[in-house]
Structure 1
Amino acid sequence: MKIYGVTGWKNAGKTGLVERLVTEMVARGLTVSTLKHAHHETEIDHPGRDSYRHRQAGAHEVLVSSPQRWALMHELRGAPEPALDDLLARLSPVDLVLIEGYKRGPHPKIEAHRLETGHPLLAPGNPSVRAVASDVGAGDVALAGVTVPVLPLDDTGAIADFILRDLGLAR
């Protein structure tokens, strides 16, 4: 199972890029899963739902199943957040896992960058960033110091091509 990340600062376009990449990769015949890291408390369940009530009662894990999907919720209850490798091990095998977040992880990644966010680029100080997908051109002063390829943020095909070549999955 190959992994590749999409990283960047808040509002840089990470989620939209991951969404477009999933669509693109699946259209190319690959099986794809995603793993998203959140820095805040994430709630995928809602008060009053049976599964929420199970968790509130103290269940360690709650698995919800229906004819369309199933979901496993695991409560940490004060335990440390699992390492990325531990989370990846829980996924079913696929061709590619796209990881959103985990800026400091050692896996290869694309940095999503939008000039309007005003944040500095991660790429110059992060050797795991293999390319930058930006809304400004490669020659723009905002990208000074970037030594990795710069791709247009809205060119999903070119970004997918880059990732697949980098992983040796190009067909």
Structure 2
Amino acid sequence: MKVVGFAGYSGAGKTTLIEQVIAALRARGLRVSVIKHAHHRFDIDRPGKDSFRHREAGAVEVLIASRHRLALMREFERETELSVHQLIARLDAGVDWVLVEGFRGSDLSKIEVWRAPTGHAVLYPHDEHVIAVATDDAARLPQPAGRPVLDLNRGAAVADWLIDQGERLAYAAPAQ
């Protein structure tokens, strides 16, 4: 499997770019998984549903399965922050690509997603793991990127670039 992160600040366009990259990779017959980091509490279940009621009753894990999908919800009994590598280890090892949204501070190879209007600083001058910058206005980068600059609005071209970088992005879990 190949793994790449998409890092940047809120509002830069990470999710939109990832959606386009997923579609482009799938169009090439590749299997894609995504890991999304959430900085806040979230819920994928709805009040009143059986699975929600089971969790509310105190179940530590609720697994819902049908012929079409499987969802596992696990309640942490105390706050737990899993590393991106721990999360990757829980995915289907048979996928071709894992796209990781967030985890800015991770040691994964990543594409920085940056838009000038957000007013956020760039990550690439201080992060050796940024292998490319995706932006909608390369001329407004505050300093030379020193790495490839990709068009944020051309997800298929970003997917092509990733495929060309495939060997470099082959995942090897860190030694424990």
Give per-residue Cα distances to partners, 1:9-50, cap 9 Å, x unaligned: 001000011111110011112111111001011111111111
RMSD across aligned positions (CA): 1.4
Q: How many residues align?
A: 167
Deviates more, 1:96-105 or 1:58-67: 58-67
**Which structure 2 segments of 5+ residues have no match?**
169-176
Counterpart position of 1:112: 113
CA contact (8 A) 2:18 2:155 kept: no
Please give the alpha-carbon distance, in whole angstroms, between the structure 2 residues aligned to 1:52 and 1:157. Answer: 38
User: Could you tell me how far 1:67 is from its partner in structure 2?
Assistant: 2.7
Structure 1 residues 68 and 159, CA gap change in structure 2 (3 angstroms):
same
Counterpart position of 1:80: 80
Please give the alpha-carbon distance, in whole angstroms, between the structure 1 residues aligned to 2:81 and 2:60. Answer: 14
User: Could you tell me how far 1:62 is from its partner in structure 2?
Assistant: 0.4
Counterpart position of 2:173: none
Please give the alpha-carbon distance, in whole angstroms, between the structure 2 residues aligned to 1:50 and 1:151. Answer: 45
Using structure 1 for the length normalisation, give the TM-score: 0.92
Letter matched to residue 98 of structure 2: V
SS of residue in 2 equivalent to 1:9: coil
Counterpart position of 1:150: 149
Counterpart position of 1:22: 22
Letter matched to residue 54 of structure 1: H
Which gives a bigger RCO, structure 1 or 2 (Cα 8 Å, sep 6+)?
A: 2
Counterpart position of 1:60: 60
Using structure 2 for the length normalisation, give the TM-score: 0.89
Counterpart position of 1:99: 100
**Which structure 1 segments of 5+ residues have no match?**
none
